[in-house]
Amino acid sequence: MNHKIAPLYDALCIYERKQTVSLHVPGHKDGQAFDQQASRHFREILKIDATEVNGLDDLHHPTEAIAEAQRLAADAFGAEQTYFLVGGSTAGNLAAALTVCQPGDRILVQRNAHKSVFNGLLLAGAHPIFIAPEVEPETDVATGIEPSHLRKALQQYPDVKAVWITNPNYYGMGINVTKLVDVCHQAGIPLLVDEAHGAHLGQVANVPCSALEAGADLVVQSTHKMLTAMTMASMLHVQGPLIPRERLAAILAMVQSSSPSYPLMASLDVARRYLIMQGREQLANTVVMLEKQREQLAERLQCLSIWTDKGTTYSRDPLKWVLTSRHSPVTGYQLLAWLEDMGCVAEMADTKNVVLVFAIHNSEDQVKRTVQAIQALDAKLQQLPVVEKQKNDGSILLTEPGQLIEPAISLQEAFHQKKKQVPLAEAIGKYSAEMVIPYPPGIPLLAPGEKITETHITAIQQIKAAGGYFQGASDEGMEKMFILVNP
């Protein structure tokens, strides 16, 4: 395929050149009516912020430029069919749930999933069986599920409609997806993969392989996270016969805007072109440079450690560095704040770790500045008293790996039931009526319908004490929470 072209972007350029009288939406009329001060930033983009006029195709019925751009993307990412998403991987996950589940259907879901997975299950009226993932012992971070655990779970719940995993995790730790694909396909069901953090995987030899390469049936990627599309621009890929494509397309049209942003869609088109024309080479070179810097740095650090996959069964995304304080009682949130004081803004932190995200083309100069900041941070930590490491409670994982959790009622039933707000201590033993989401990483600690244990409450308190916050909590300070009145 000819990856030098960008059919959707090209169509927008033709639209811009035509300079027709716009008698259609959007109301800014190609940028003519717009706030003067802001137009400095918006001017150029507004010229291609068009709508479904002749020549620009229609995301929800693509036959021309968008169809061609999606075909090129499918080729670049190794899919049979690719759908552009303008609502992030969030939209892709909502659509995935609604496509594979009818109300009441059971589905096996890795517990450390993003809230968009939970929300999709809620909207679909599905009955998830959660499966607890492994935990990486150095960082106490939840990773993926073991094939043997999956096999056992499918024996116990042979009626599930699909298996849904998240891989890699936010920290760049990955598992062998091929083995999970085999287990699912032997059972005749699809494997769905939330690969929001892995759009670059499989693109070059020195990054881990992608879920599509591993044979997954439906894969959602935030192209805006690890590749170069604009924020929110993402893709949903499918292959094989197990995903009903007409139903998927119909659902995507329900969960996404009927006026999808052309700049966002075009940014997917050019992100794909950039990747093929120069990005792959840049990515391969960046990884070599990062690995060298990381190895040298790791040897010099005394109080901090950088997570490495050596001696583990995990794959590691070389574009992510996970820093942990070895023995001082320093949280990831503190590490993040200190790094920021030194001019390096990290992606996210938890109670223990901080995550730095590099990109397809980070300059060596910026990487060196980061290395210097980390060394300065390490020196600062050397001044602190040494205290034994504590367990990271923050995690979502309050159960043994492989354990299956079947909520008493579905997320949807719980969502619609009568609820009341009570102090945290009173919530123990009751059923949650809200999602309790430490943010980041956005993985619900509790979902509607889940039984609240003392461990959950301790985890909430520890996250709060460490400086974390809870997105969308009914009580901002998380002193109280909603429980079901009649579960």
Query: Which x/- pattern over 345-384 shows residues binding ligand PLP (rule: CB under 6 A)?
Result: ----------------------------------------
In 340-477, which ranges are E strands? 348-349, 353-357, 404-405, 419-423, 438-439, 469-470
C-alpha span between 154 and 164 (Å, rounded): 12
Decide if residue 234 touches ligand PLP (CB under 6 A).
Answer: yes
C-alpha span between 397 and 33 (Å, rounded): 51
* Contacting residue, 47, 106, 111, 114, with ligand PLP by CB under 6 A: 114
Decide if residue 84 touches ligand PLP (CB under 6 A).
Answer: no
Nearest to 416 by CA among 102, 130, 122, 129: 122
Q: Distance between terminal CA atoms of the chain?
A: 55
Q: Kindly tell me which of 235 and 460 has the beta carbon lying closer to ligand PLP.
A: 235
* Contacting residue, 70, 210, 222, 392, with ligand PLP by CB under 6 A: 222
* Contacting residue, 83, 118, 164, 170, with ligand PLP by CB under 6 A: 170
Q: Which DSSP string do the residues of 65-107 spell out, in sequence order?
A: HHHHHHHHHHHHHT-SEEEEESSHHHHHHHHHHHHH--TT-EE
Decide if residue 83 touches ligand PLP (CB under 6 A).
Answer: no
Kindly indicate which of the ranges 83-91, 184-192, 429-437, 469-477 contains the residues binding ligand PLP, using the contact rule CB under 6 A: 83-91
C-alpha span between 359 and 343 (Å, rounded): 18
Q: Which DSSP string do the residues of 256-312 spell out, in sequence order?
A: S-SS--HHHHHHHHHHHHHIIIIIHHHHHHHHHHHHHHHHHHHHH-SSEEE---TTS
Decide if residue 90 touches ligand PLP (CB under 6 A).
Answer: yes
Place of tokens 């229609």: 58
Shortest Å distance, C-beta 431 to ligand PLP:
25
Q: Check whether the bond before 318 is cis (ω within 30° of 0).
A: no
Q: According to CB under 6 A, which residues from 150 to 169 bind ligand PLP?
A: 166
Shortest Å distance, C-beta 92 to ligand PLP:
8
Q: According to CB under 6 A, which residues from 175 to 194 bind ligand PLP?
A: 194
Q: Decide: 415 and 122 in contact? Cβ < 8 Å.
A: yes
Q: Kindly tell me which of 7 and 394 has the beta carbon lying closer to ligand PLP.
A: 394
Q: How many residues of this chain interact with ligand PLP, rule: CB under 6 A? A: 15
Decide if residue 344 touches ligand PLP (CB under 6 A).
Answer: no
In degrees rounded to 5, what are phi and psi of residue 172?
85, 15
Which residue in the shown chain puts its C-beta closest to ligand PLP? 88
Shortest Å distance, C-beta 217 to ligand PLP:
17
Residue 223 is encoded by which pair of tokens? Answer: 């192209």
Decide if residue 149 touches ligand PLP (CB under 6 A).
Answer: no
Shortest Å distance, C-beta 191 to ligand PLP:
16
Q: Kindly tell me which of 234 and 392 has the beta carbon lying closer to ligand PLP.
A: 234
Shortest Å distance, C-beta 194 to ligand PLP:
5
Decide if residue 89 touches ligand PLP (CB under 6 A).
Answer: yes
Query: Which x/- pattern over 191-220 shows residues binding ligand PLP (rule: CB under 6 A)?
Result: ---x-xx-----------------------
Q: According to CB under 6 A, which residues from 52 to 71 bind ligand PLP?
A: none
Q: Decide: 476 and 427 in contact? Cβ < 8 Å.
A: no
Q: Decide: 109 and 128 in contact? Cβ < 8 Å.
A: yes
C-alpha span between 111 and 225 (Å, rounded): 22
Question: Given the rule CB under 6 A, which residues bind ligand PLP?
Answer: 88-90, 93, 114, 116, 166, 170, 194, 196-197, 222, 234, 441-442
